Amino acid sequence: MSTATRLDHSILPTYFDARNGGYSMNGGEASNASTDEHRVARQLQQLVLDPPERYVGQQGPEATDSPTPTQVNTPGGTAAATWDFLSNAAQMFGRPAEISEVTQADMARGIDVQGYRWSGCEPQRRMYMEYRREVYPQYQGVPHDVQTVRKQARCVDNTHEYFRLRYSVTGDKSRCKVSHFQLRDLVWATSSYDVFYWHADGVQQWDPWRRRHTSVLARSALPDAFRLSALCVDAGVVFAGDYQGRICAKSLWGEGSVAEARLGADMVTHATPTGRGISVARNSGRVDLVNVERMEAAESALFEWPVNCTAEAASGAFGCVVGDSLQALVVDPRQGLAAVAPLQGHLDHAFTCAISPDERLVATGSQDSSVRVYDVRWPRVPVAVLCGYLGAMRHVRFSSCGGFLLAAEPADYVHVYETGLFERAQDVEFMGEVAGAAFSPDANCLFVAISDAVHENALAEYTRIVPADDSTYWL
């Protein structure tokens, strides 16, 4: 992973245009805005216009290995800290979480997934979310114009609902720890009852039905100075990779010891199960196939750029590799990950990829704020370009039924797209950093981990809604 450039959007607009609800903070008042809404708007504006010296010494969100950014300032403006504004805006609202466990009945009473009550304050919440969209820091490995990407994006109807919240739990016990701001594949689900995530105390197992947390790989059992950067669970074994090129494995059954494989001295950026072992991507550009029985690299391939993520088709016929390059690669696992075809179109480095269960589609997510979906039968151009709201797309995953594609932004939004024409979607919205998201193996549940230094942490379970017309319901 290369050093990124942070675009500082500290020079915020002093008005809300028509698409943001018609609220004006630039002179007059919009006709459809209430007095309370204008009061909140003015308070938000005052926070933005405060001098940056006022916030010296305050801490932003947790991102322990964020690069030292190069700030790009708008002409004529001040370099106010983006996250200082968000912190103060959150403090202005003064809304601590009201409850620690949220159900569908609580949602009907105006409480959101993180336990905040917003009934009667919907306009303030909407305005706060709009400002988060405007000021969230964007990191670019390769400088580019985000609007160029958005012009290529498909128009998507995001008003649909495929998954509905069933249960969420908040608090420190539910905090999925993000060690690196660019690596967000930290949640794995092996069933509707077994969700694994990285916690300050080690790898935890969450059962949303029994409502309990269980430690499956304690921090004390891991090697010294172990800082997790990759996580996966397969066949009753949990695998954890760290910044020093180590992979640790432990069985979920019994009290067995932790096995360790040292692959190198560079960071493990991603780990994923394959039919031949565990594919481990590293920052040096090397991809190792780890033999689980021997806990050693059975095969290895080297790429010209740091590799951030790999995916392999269930049949093993082909795979996908993405990293610090403007093109992803379709590779042949049977030929030592030899390149078969490039996937072009991204304007920045990619950090995530996934292959559909029918092995027809490949999805890649990049820091250029887009997910590009390719048909492997004709990979020259993407069949769909999908854009988010905040910035980089940090995590993508297909459901086991093949009917949905999950795309997680770094914060606030997880998008669920229908894979038929990629014209309909659901936006799962909250406030805070996304640590990871995953479908259950039966595709009936969606799990999201929210980890944030300002807002309440949460682990949330969304269950599949069966439509009245079940012709669009994939089993």
| Complete DSSP assignment for 157-224 | B-B--SEEEEEEEESGGG----SSTT----EEEEETTEEEEEETTEEEEEETTTTEEEEEEEGGGSPT
Cβ(297)–Cβ(261) below 8 Å: yes
Distances (CA, A) of 47 to 2, 33, 138, 432, 446: 33, 20, 20, 19, 36
Q: Tell me the three state secondary structure of residue 232.
A: strand
Cβ(61)–Cβ(435) below 8 Å: no
Residue 58 pLDDT? 36
Size of the chain in residues: 475
Residue 359 pLDDT? 95
User: Judging by DSSP bridges, how do beta strands 228-234 and 237-242 pair with one another?
Assistant: antiparallel
Name the DSSP class of 457: P
Residue 9 pLDDT? 39
Question: Tokens in use for 301?
Answer: 């391939």
Distances (CA, A) of 123 to 89, 111, 237, 402, 462: 14, 15, 46, 37, 25
Residue 450 pLDDT? 94
Q: How far apart are CA 162 and CA 238, in angstroms?
A: 30
Q: How far apart are CA 441 and CA 412, in angstroms?
A: 24
| Contacts for 154 with CB less than 8 Å, ≥ 6 apart | 384, 385, 386, 422, 423
Q: How far apart are CA 375 and CA 363, in angstroms?
A: 9
Cβ(170)–Cβ(458) below 8 Å: yes
Residues of the chain under the 70 pLDDT cut: 1-95, 468-475
Edge-to-edge strand ranges of the sheet holding 361-366: 350-355, 361-366, 370-375, 384-387
Q: Which of 305, 275, 295 is nearest to 287 (CA)?
A: 305
Residue 10 pLDDT? 36
Its pTM stands at 0.82
Name the DSSP class of 137: -
Residue 391 pLDDT? 85
Residue 26 pLDDT? 32
Element (H, E) at 88: helix 82-93
Cβ(447)–Cβ(169) below 8 Å: no
Q: Hey, which residues does 243 pair with through a beta bridge? A: none
Cβ(67)–Cβ(3) below 8 Å: yes
Residue 31 pLDDT? 36
Residue 85 pLDDT? 52
Q: How far apart are CA 269 and CA 336, in angstroms?
A: 19
Question: Tokens in use for 246?
Answer: 């180590």
Torsion of CA 295, 231, 443, 405, to 10 degrees: -120
Q: Strand (E) positions, 399-457?
A: 404-408, 411-418, 425-439, 445-451
Residue 374 pLDDT? 97
Q: How far apart are CA 177 and CA 184, in angstroms?
A: 10
- Inter-axis angle of helices 122-135 and 82-93, nearest 10: 170
Q: How far apart are CA 193 and CA 196, in angstroms?
A: 10
| Dihedral sign from CA coordinates of 188, 263, 266, 346 | negative
Residue 399 pLDDT? 96
Q: Which of 154, 145, 155 is nearest to 385 (CA)?
A: 154
Residue 132 pLDDT? 85
Distances (CA, A) of 366 to 108, 142, 174, 273, 376: 36, 11, 28, 22, 18
| Contacts for 383 with CB less than 8 Å, ≥ 6 apart | 361, 373, 374, 375, 422
Structure-token match 């004709």, residue found:
378
* DSSP secondary structure letters along 59-87: -----TT---PPP-PPTT-----HHHHHH
* DSSP secondary structure letters along 104-136: HHHHHTTB-TTS-B-TT-HHHHHHHHHHHHHHS
